[in-house]
Structures are given as C-alpha cells and as structure tokens.
C-alpha cells in the first residue's frame, strides 16, 4: 500500500510539473509572437522550441487518453533535447525573409510540427515496446516490467500516433508545395528539404500501408517507427545543417 501511494504521489507531481512547464512554454511562445509580429517558427532556434512544445502537447493528449504517464519518461527527454539544441542557435529576432511573409507560413509549419510531434510520441512508445518485449522474452519480470504498459497498449498508441501524424505530414507537404508555387513559381523543385520530406512521407506511408493491409504490428511496426523518426529528424534538422537549398535556414 505504501509503495502504491508513493508511486501515485510521484506520478501526480511529475504530471503537474510537465503541465506547468508546458504552460510556461506556451506563454514564452506567445510573448515571442508579440515581440516579432509573426509566428515564432522561422529559424532553427524558434522551430526547435516550437517542436519541443508540440511534442509535450501531443504527449499530454495521449497520456490523458491512455493514462500512461511512464511514456513521458521516454518522450519528455526528446523535448528537453530539442530545447537544449535550440539554445545553440541565435535567438535574436530578425526581419523575415520575403519568402516567409506568406499566409501559408502558419498552416504549413504548425501542421508539420504537430505531425512530427505525433511521430516523436510514436517513437517513445516504440522504444518502450521493444524494452517490454525483451523483458518478456528473457522472462525477467522485475519492478520495471510491472510499471510498463502492455504490448497491445503500446502498439495501439503507435498506431494512433501514426494515423494522426501521417495526414498532418501530408497536409504539410501539400501546403508547402502550394506555398512554393506562390513564392518561387514552381510547386516542386527537388530541393533537399522537399526530397527528404518526400522520403519521410514514403517511410510512414509504407508503415501505415503495412499495418492496414498486411498486418504489420508489434516489433516490426516499432522498429519502423524508430527508423521513421530518425529519417524525420534528418529531414528537419540534418538538411538545414548539412545541405543548402531554398528551405535552408538557421
């Protein structure tokens, strides 16, 4: 009984802390918006911060749905790392690039990062799934095993995040193409960012297709979710740091 009360208290404090910090992050973003006059998502400092906020927001939504606070142990470090990396880039507010002065800015970027956040939560669920499966195979059902959700629950979370994230990514790519046509006169130019966005889309399309038609579940789906997450990270961050193109910004 004492142990149960302790873990319940710990979980309540952790949940309150996450929610409190999330509210502060929202207020910071709103203040940045008021100071700059535009959605603060136009350079790597702002984008990484917004991405981090989106990850926590999606996690809170999933946690309320599935009552699985332990997922935060694997998702919030991703958000924390994103914030830490954002601090490495200039935080000064500068005038917008002419191409960014568009009504498509908010739709394209916000939808994209919400999709990315869904994939980040799926990544966390996939990591826990592989851990749980390993415990079961080795028959080492210790204290940590008792705290982790069932494999079916984790697989369900993975699927739910995919069904939310993939349509959001699709809308982001389509809106980005329309924005590109208005800004540069072409819907698609095979810019590195566009190319890797398409690769990311195909990875998650293959995963979703496999789940719906051939019954990909469990370990295979978890591994593909992890691969997809790293492909997505390269699309977002690696392309900006290692390649040059129309979408490169820092």
pLDDT tens digits, 159-200: 999 999 999 999 999 998 888 888 777 888 888 888 899 999
In this structure, the chain runs to a length of: 250
Given a cut of 90, whether residue 51 has pLDDT beyond it is yes
Burial 109-147 (b: 16+ CB within 10 A, else e): bbbbbbbbbbbbbbbbbbbbbbbbeebeeeeeeeeeeee
- Looking at residue 101, the DSSP 8-state letter turns out to be -
Output the pLDDT for position 148.
73
CA-closest candidate to residue 199, choices 241, 24, 191: 191
CA distance 77 to 229: 15
- Condensed to tens digits (0 to 9), the pLDDT of residues 226-247 reads 999 999 999 988 888 887 766 5
Higher pLDDT pick, 125 / 9: 125
Q: Is-contact 160 107, C-beta < 8 A?
A: no
Alpha-carbon separation of residue 216 from 29, 150, 205, 213, 250 (angstroms): 39, 18, 13, 8, 38
Mean pLDDT of 22-37: 87
Top mean pLDDT of 4-8, 15-19, 62-66 is at 62-66
Given a cut of 80, whether residue 10 has pLDDT beyond it is no
Q: Give the per-residue SS3 of 41-97.
A: CCCHHHHHHHHHHHHHHHHHHHHHHHCCHHHHHHHHHHHHHHHHHHCCCCCCCCCCC
- Condensed to tens digits (0 to 9), the pLDDT of residues 72-119 reads 878 888 888 999 999 888 888 878 777 777 788 888 899 999 999 999
Given a cut of 90, whether residue 68 has pLDDT beyond it is no
Q: What's the helix, strand, coil split of the chain in %, to 5?
A: 80, 0, 20
Higher pLDDT pick, 241 / 7: 241
Output the pLDDT for position 240.
82
Angle between helices 218-233 and 104-138 (to 10 degrees): 140
Residue with tokens 């900006």, as numbered in its chain: 240
Given a cut of 60, whether residue 143 has pLDDT beyond it is no
CA distance 227 to 190: 23
Output the pLDDT for position 125.
92
Output the pLDDT for position 123.
94
Mean pLDDT of 45-62: 91
Output the pLDDT for position 250.
56
**Residue 142: pLDDT band with limits 50, 70, 90:** low
Which range (2-6, 30-34, 158-162) has the least confidence?
2-6
């Amino acid at each position: 009984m004492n142990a149960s009360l302790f873990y319940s208290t710990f979980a309540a404090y952790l949940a309150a802390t996450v929610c409190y910090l999330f509210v502060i992050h929202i207020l910071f973003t709103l203040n940045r918006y008021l100071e700059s006059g535009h959605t603060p998502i136009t350079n790597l400092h702002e984008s990484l911060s917004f991405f981090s906020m989106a990850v926590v927001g999606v996690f809170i939504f999933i946690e309320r749905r599935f009552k699985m606070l332990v997922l935060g142990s694997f998702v919030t470090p991703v958000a924390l790392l994103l914030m830490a990396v954002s601090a490495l880039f200039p935080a000064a507010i500068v005038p917008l690039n002419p191409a960014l002065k568009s009504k498509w800015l908010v739709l394209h970027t916000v939808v994209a990062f919400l999709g990315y956040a869904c994939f980040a939560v799926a990544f966390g669920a996939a990591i826990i799934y592989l851990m749980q499966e390993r415990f079961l195979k080795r028959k080492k059902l210790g204290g940590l095993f008792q705290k982790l959700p069932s494999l079916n629950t984790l697989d369900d979370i993975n699927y739910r995040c995919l069904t939310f994230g993939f349509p959001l990514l699709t809308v982001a790519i389509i809106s980005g193409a329309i924005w590109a046509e208005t800004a540069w006169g072409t819907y698609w130019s095979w810019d590195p960012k566009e190319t890797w966005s398409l690769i990311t889309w195909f990875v998650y399309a293959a995963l979703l297709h496999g789940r719906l038609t051939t019954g990909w579940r469990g370990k295979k789906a978890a591994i593909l979710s992890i691969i997809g997450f790293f492909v997505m990270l390269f699309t977002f961050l690696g392309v900006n740091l290692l390649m040059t193109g129309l979408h490169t910004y820092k």
